[in-house]
Each structure stands twice: as C-alpha cells, then as structure tokens.
C-alpha cells in the first residue's frame, strides 16, 4: 500500500473508524461511497496498524475483523459462513503470507489455485433439484439479504442447471464495461443520477426491487458447496474435491466462471509460479471487458484448506492480492473544447491531478455535450475517474452526495472553438458547420497516412501548402494535382514532384477499405472500414445501403448505422470525384451481397485459407511479411477469409507470433491455441501476398 498515514492519537483513530463505518454503510446500503476502493483499503490498514499498537483503545464499532466492515446486514442464515478475504498488496507481503500458511500446516501447500478477483457483489445461489430457488448476499458473513427477485435477470446464472442437483454456487455479480454504460443510459433516462462505477452499479441494482427498469448484470462463479438437504454422497464430494475440480464442475453445470473468460483460473505448484501468474493477469487487466481489482490465491486441495483453517473474518488458506487502483475520486476543474479532423467538437475534462495505476491523471474524456448533461456534471464536482493501462482516462460519474452547493454548470460553446463558425447540434456529438473543412489539414493528413491511402511524401507541412495555396479542398482534389501546380510550391523540385505524383497514382489502387477509411466517415475507423468493405464489396453497394442494411455489419448498431449512412450521403460529391479520378472502389476477395438482401447477415466473402478463423498477430513480422504494417496484416487476414483480432482468447483460432512476441504468445500456449511463424503464415496466404 502507498501513501499510508500514521494515525497520531485516539481522537484521530476515532474519526478514522467513523469514516470507515460511514463509507461501508453507504456502499452496502445503496451501492455508493464517498471513498474509492484504494482509499477505503488504505483507511482500514491505517486503523489496523493503530489498533495493533494500542489494543486497549480498540472501539467496538471498528471494522477490523468484520465481514463487510460490519456494515452489511441480512436475515437469511448461510449454511456455511460466507467470509471475506484478507488482502496483500505486494510480492513481499504475499511471500510472507504463503510462508505463514505453510508454517500453520507444517509443510508446503500441495498446489495453489490462481484466479482473477472480480470487482462486484458476492452472492450465494441456491439450487434445488437443479432449479435456482434463492439468491442471498454475503451480508455479515453469517446471514445475508434475500435478493431472489434477481433470478432470471443475471447473465451466466442459469435458472436450471445441466443436472438436477441440490447445492449452492457462490460467486460475484458485476457489470461488464458495456453493461455499465447501458445501465447508466437507462438509469438517467428514468431520472436517476448516474452510477459512480460498475461495482456500485451492480450492488445497487441487485438490491433494487421496485425500479421501473432492469439492467443487465453478469455472474462469475468462484465456489460450490453443499446445502443442508444435499444428498450425503454429493455433499462429501463437494467437501473433499480440489477447488480447481469444483470450478470445472461448476462450468459443466452451465454456470459462468472465469474459465470462460480471457483470464481463466490456473493451478500451480509453488508460490514463485503464483507470482508469475499474478503478473500475467495484471498485464491483461487493461484489455478485459470487466473490472478486476486483484487476484485471488487459494490452497487448491481441501485437505490443505482444512489444516490451514479459518479466522473470524477470512479463511487462512486464501488471500486477495490487490492490484493498484484504476479509479479514484478527484475534482473536475474545467472543460476544454477541441475540434477533430471531421469537425466533431469534443469536450475534455481538466482534473485536479490524481495518481491512478502508477501515473498522474490530469485530463479525462467526456464524450459529448449530451453525456455531460446526462451525467449532470458540474465544475467543482467530485468525480469518479477510471483508468486502465494505456486507455484514456474517463469520468464515470459525479459523486453527487459530496456536493457543497458551490459547484457551477459547465458552459457549452455557442460557436466552433476552432474557426468561429456555427455548430450543428442535431446529434449527440456536436460538429462545426464547416465539417471537415474546419480542420481540413488534419483530415487530409490522416487520409494520406500509411494505413489509409499511404501517399508517401504528403505529410502535414505539404498538406498545409496545398490547402493554403487553394489547390485542394477535399481528398478527391489530391488526385487531380498536376506537376505544374506542385512545382510552384516552395521546396518542391522535379524529383520530389515526380515522387509525390507517383505515390498519388499508386494510391488509386488501394483497396476499398483504405479509401473508405481515408474519407473519415464518422463512426468508423480502420477495423470498421474493413468490415464494411468486406461486407458490401463495392462502394456502390455501400452507398446503396440504408440503415437496416448497414446494421448487418458486425459492430454497427441502431445508433451508429444512420450516422454512417448520412455521412456517406454528405460525402457523395467527394466520392463521385474519386470515381472520376480513377480511384479503386472495390474490395479484393469480397463479393457484393445479393440484390434481394438475402445473406447480408454474413460478410459477403469468398472462401479463403483462413475461412472462419479468428487470427491474432503479435511481435515483429519477418521475411515476406516484414514490410507489412499491422493494419496491412489485418487486411491480409480478412482477404483470406479470416477475422483479425487484437486479443487472444479461447475463440482464437491462430496466433502469428513474430520476433519479441510476449504475453499474447504465452496466453496462446496456455489456452492451447495454434501458433505459427511469420514464414509459415506467409506460405499459408501466399496467393494473397502483394
């Protein structure tokens, strides 16, 4: 733990206990708290250190040694106590803990189970004859709250097991990132304040009985045990089986577990290998579609667990290795308004600097004005800020109950901050009325980039010359430039002119997905442009698609589809000019969808050597693939009938591992995913190589 303070005296200790009790009560009552996880954990450690030094001053209301800090309540008794876990925060603390476990049992632990620690609400799901009959929260560990009204609305928690067994599955209910965003949309549409974070959103939503709406949540099982009426033979198997076998059995019964995710549980023999697995999971954290706040390590064998025993609050054979916090509370100081290359006006939050996940965060994304209004953000608000890995920090929500009354409304711009023109506010993302012309230099520089038209020699400074000289007003004008026009520009000789014109001529042969990406259609990027091009095969088919047809492309929903269709209509004149200039408007290896619309639910592609495969590329390519950018590799995969992906999972068919391939290669090996070298992959797709 970092930034721990020393509690100086009894008065400060009493205040610390009061703060911790209030924070726990707020969280367990309504799913919200004035303290983020990191601050709460730090406060508990400070209290524990003071109490260890002053045992005669320990207050009865202290959260130390109590499940849920003593704040949670419930009236449904647990068959077996549902305890919390103690925490460690470093490799040194973990090594000390494992040594203490092995001293307690008098020998090395036989095997360790290592799993991600899901950031949600612990519940017990009781099944009788295979049917889900009751859901109970952890509560105070001995009794919990009945939340059976949640049966049927939690993904991954089936109402009927695959076999008619009587038992209890324990696990965590949480919201994925996508579920959290949708939950906040639904909640604010019904007049509520946004949830502060996914954890509090799941906790509050599972307890809510009388809401006019429901929100999606997901269950992850982490344990299984008998009930009082479980048949003796089954009860004995549940009590004596290794934890890893139980979790495999939970999955077989149809309950969702971490084994179905990108970070499955694993059993290893030594603490050193546990530490290696901890580092692997921590490295995957940023790319996960759900939150984890640590890693859970357990003695795998039931015999080891029984010998290690239990404390009053936590088992002595399991520990939570907490990772650095990825969310903190800080102050919203100001809002900046920036204009992108397509004319979109994007707000950015300036924050009181706060340390998150090892870096200082001073700015965060705010998406759009509608998002600011929906979240009811105000200058001076205390806000929950989220950051994971290299992802741009974002504001999740204001902590409304911390408002003082001095907060001020955020002022929206009345004219474009870039050029002073009017603003089109007809959509959630506001846009300068001049559109791409507001930031023409940025738009053209992007279009000429390596992963778009790849026009070598057309960098930002050259684009500025073309724009200021009145030679180009859109992307299509690049293809009508003449040698005379270029030679008239400063620092343009005959050689550089010839080279640029040659590069522009070569750009005419780029595949359709590159042209589409270069147009900068809102709602698309490199991968989405590839999907659209592969689905429709020709620009004519793309332009002829309505919103319903556009939604047939993977990843395009009901909100994005009409925006893309409208953008293509707006770009009609530019596209016509590109066609007239001889720019390619077809996608290699793809065929247009049927005229009657049948078959549009699948990309219109011909079979290739990677047909139906999901392929991940990692490391540096060599040999015939050495000159290809990652975008070009993804294009190659899709022309061969495959689907490119950036992350390895059980659904991955093939990993192309080049020089320096690291964690993705290791994960592929762990999951049994097929690995291939760049040379072998080049042979596989030889007919499609440039």
Q: Which residues are catalytic?
A: 117
Please give the DSSP secondary-structure letter assigned to residue 88: E
Cα separation, 168 vs 166, whole angstroms = 7
Cα separation, 292 vs 261, whole angstroms = 12
The secondary structure of 347-412, three-state, reads: EEEEEEEEEECCEEEEEEECCCHHHHHHHCCEECCEEEEECCCCCCCEEEEECHHHCCCCCEECCC
Element (H, E) at 321: strand 318-322
Please give the DSSP secondary-structure letter assigned to residue 636: H
CB neighbour class for 591 (10 Å; exposed up to 12, middle 13-18, buried from 19):
middle
Cα separation, 656 vs 660, whole angstroms = 12
Q: How far is CA 616 from the centre of its chain?
A: 18
Yes or no: say if 526 and 517 are a contact pair by the CB < 8 Å rule.
Answer: yes
Element (H, E) at 334: strand 327-339
Residue 169 neighbours by CB under 8 Å, 6+ apart: 124, 125, 127, 157, 221, 223, 224, 250, 253, 255
Phi then psi for 575, rounded to 5 degrees? -65, -40
Question: Can you list the alpha helix ranges (DSSP code H) found in 582-643?
Answer: 630-639
Question: Can you list the alpha helix ranges (DSSP code H) found in 477-571?
Answer: 483-487, 494-507, 512-519, 526-536, 539-543, 547-550, 560-570
Task: Please report how the helices 10-30 and 198-207 are oriented relative to each other, as an axis angle in degrees rounded to 10.
Answer: 60
Beta 674-676 vs 654-657: how paired, if at all? Answer: parallel
Please give the DSSP secondary-structure letter assigned to residue 415: S
Listed residue (578, 449, 456, 582) closest to 518, CA to CA: 449
Residue 133 neighbours by CB under 8 Å, 6+ apart: 126, 127, 148
621-628 contacts at long range (C-beta below 8 A, 24 or more positions apart):
621/656, 621/658, 621/678, 622/658, 622/659, 622/678, 622/679, 623/678, 623/679, 623/682, 624/678, 624/679, 624/682, 624/689, 625/658, 625/678, 625/681, 625/682, 626/678
Put the strands of the sheet holding 292-299 in their side by side order: 87-88, 318-322, 292-299, 112-118, 266-268
Other Cβ atoms closer than 10 A to 596? 7
Cα separation, 338 vs 347, whole angstroms = 6
Yes or no: say if 656 and 676 are a contact pair by the CB < 8 Å rule.
Answer: yes
Cα separation, 548 vs 428, whole angstroms = 21
Cα separation, 75 vs 143, whole angstroms = 6
Cα separation, 443 vs 437, whole angstroms = 8
Which residues partner with 117 through β-bridges?
294
């Amino acid at each position: 733990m970092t930034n721990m303070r020393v509690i100086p005296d009894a008065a400060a200790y009493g205040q610390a206990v009061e703060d911790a009790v209030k924070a726990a009560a707020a969280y367990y009552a309504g799913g919200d708290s004035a303290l983020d996880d990191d601050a709460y954990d730090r406060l508990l450690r400070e209290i524990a250190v003071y109490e260890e030094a002053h045992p005669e001053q320990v207050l009865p209301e202290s959260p130390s040694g109590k499940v849920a800090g003593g704040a949670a309540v419930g009236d449904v008794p647990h068959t077996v106590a549902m305890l919390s876990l103690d925490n460690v925060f470093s490799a040194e603390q973990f090594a000390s803990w494992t040594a203490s476990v092995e001293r307690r049992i008098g020998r090395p632990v036989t095997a360790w189970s290592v799993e991600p620690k899901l950031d949600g609400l612990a519940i017990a799901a009781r099944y009788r004859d295979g049917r889900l009959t009751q859901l109970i929260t952890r509560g105070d560990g001995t009794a919990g709250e009945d939340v059976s009204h949640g049966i049927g609305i939690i993904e991954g928690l089936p109402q009927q097991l695959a076999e008619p067994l009587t038992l209890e599955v324990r696990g965590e209910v949480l919201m994925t990132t996508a579920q959290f965003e949708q939950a906040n949309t639904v909640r604010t549409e019904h007049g509520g304040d946004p949830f502060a974070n996914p954890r509090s959103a799941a906790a509050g939503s599972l307890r809510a009985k009388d809401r006019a709406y429901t929100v999606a949540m997901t269950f992850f099982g982490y344990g299984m045990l008998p009930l009082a009426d479980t048949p003796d033979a089954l009860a004995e198997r549940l009590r004596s089986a290794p934890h890893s076998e139980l979790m495999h059995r939970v999955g077989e019964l149809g309950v969702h577990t971490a084994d179905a995710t990108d970070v499955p549980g694993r059993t290893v023999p030594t603490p050193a290998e546990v530490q290696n697995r901890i580092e692997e999971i921590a490295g995957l954290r940023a790319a996960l579609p759900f939150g984890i706040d640590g890693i859970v390590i357990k003695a795998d064998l039931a015999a080891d667990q029984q010998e290690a025993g239990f404390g009053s609050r936590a088992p002595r054979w399991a520990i939570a290795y907490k990772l650095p916090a990825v969310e903190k509370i800080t102050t919203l100081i100001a809002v900046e308004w920036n204009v992108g290359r397509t004319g979109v006006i994007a707000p950015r939050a300036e924050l009181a600097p706060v340390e998150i996940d090892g870096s200082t965060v001073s700015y965060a994304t705010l998406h759009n004005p509608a998002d600011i209004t929906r979240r009811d953000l105000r200058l001076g608000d205390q806000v929950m800020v989220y950051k994971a890995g290299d992802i741009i920090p974002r504001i999740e929500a204001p902590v409304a109950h911390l408002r003082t009354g001095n907060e001020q409304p955020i002022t929206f711009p009345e004219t474009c901050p870039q050029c002073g023109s009017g603003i089109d506010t007809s959509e959630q993302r506001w846009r300068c009325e001049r559109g791409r012309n507001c930031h023409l230099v940025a738009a053209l520089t992007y279009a000429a980039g390596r992963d778009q038209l790849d026009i070598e020699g057309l960098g930002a400074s050259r684009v500025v010359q073309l724009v200021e000289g009145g030679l180009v007003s859109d992307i299509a004008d690049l293809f009508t430039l003449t040698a005379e026009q270029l030679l008239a520009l400063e620092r343009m000789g005959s050689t550089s002119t010839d080279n640029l014109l040659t590069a522009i001529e070569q750009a005419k042969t780029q595949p359709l997905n590159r042209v589409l990406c270069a147009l900068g259609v809102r709602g698309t990027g490199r991968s989405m442009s590839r999907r659209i091009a592969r689905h429709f095969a020709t620009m004519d088919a793309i332009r002829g698609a309505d919103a319903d047809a556009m939604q047939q492309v993977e990843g395009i929903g009901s909100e994005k589809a009409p925006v893309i269709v409208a953008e293509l209509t707006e770009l009609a004149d530019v596209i016509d000019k590109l066609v007239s200039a001889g720019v390619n408007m077809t996608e290699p290896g793809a065929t247009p969808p049927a005229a009657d619309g049948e078959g549009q639910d699948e990309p219109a592609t011909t079979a290739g050597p990677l047909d139906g495969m999901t392929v991940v590329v990692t490391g540096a390519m060599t040999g015939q693939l050495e000159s290809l950018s990652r975008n070009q590799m993804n294009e190659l995969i899709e022309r061969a009938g495959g689907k490119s992906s950036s992350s390895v999972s059980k659904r991955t068919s093939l990993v192309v591992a080049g020089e320096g391939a690291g964690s993705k290669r290791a994960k592929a090996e762990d999951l049994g995913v097929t690995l291939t070298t760049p040379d072998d992959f080049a042979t596989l797709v030889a007919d499609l190589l440039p």
